[in-house]
Amino acid sequence: MHRIDDTLTQVQQRIHAAAMKAGRNADDITLLGVSKKQSVEKIAAVAALGLKHIGENYLQEALDKQAQLTEQALTWHFIGPVQSNKTRAIATHFDWVHSVDRLKIAERLANARADHDRPLNVCLQVNIDDEDSKSGCAPEEALSLAKALSQFDSLRLRGLMIIPKAQETLEQQRPAFAAARALRDDIASATGHPLDTLSMGMSADLEAAVAEGATIVRIGTALFGSRH
Mean pLDDT value of segment 98-123: 96
Task: Look at residue 155 and give its three-state secondary structure.
Answer: strand
75: pLDDT strictly greater than 70: yes
Residue spans per domain, the chain: 4-224
pLDDT band for position 226 (cuts 50, 70, 90): confident
What's this model's pTM, rounded to 2 decimal places?
A: 0.96
Q: Which residues contact 50 (CB under 8 A, 6 or more apart)?
A: none
Mean pLDDT value of segment 72-88: 96
2: pLDDT strictly greater than 70: no
Report pLDDT digits (tens) over 216-225.
999 999 999 9
Ranges 31-35, 65-69, 133-137, 152-156: which has the least confidence = 133-137
Mean pLDDT value of segment 18-45: 97
pLDDT at 99: 97
1: pLDDT strictly greater than 50: no
pLDDT at 39: 95
Report pLDDT digits (tens) over 41-63.
999 999 999 999 999 999 999 99
How many Cβ atoms sit within 10 Å of the Cβ of residue 144? Answer: 12
**Element housing 31 (H / E):** strand 30-34
- CATH topology (fold) of 4-224: TIM Barrel (3.20.20)
H-state helical runs in the chain? 4-22, 40-48, 59-68, 87-93, 103-113, 142-149, 170-191, 206-211, 221-224
Mean pLDDT value of segment 15-26: 98
Report pLDDT digits (tens) over 151-168.
999 999 999 999 999 999
Q: Rounded distance, CA 159 to CA 173, Å?
A: 20
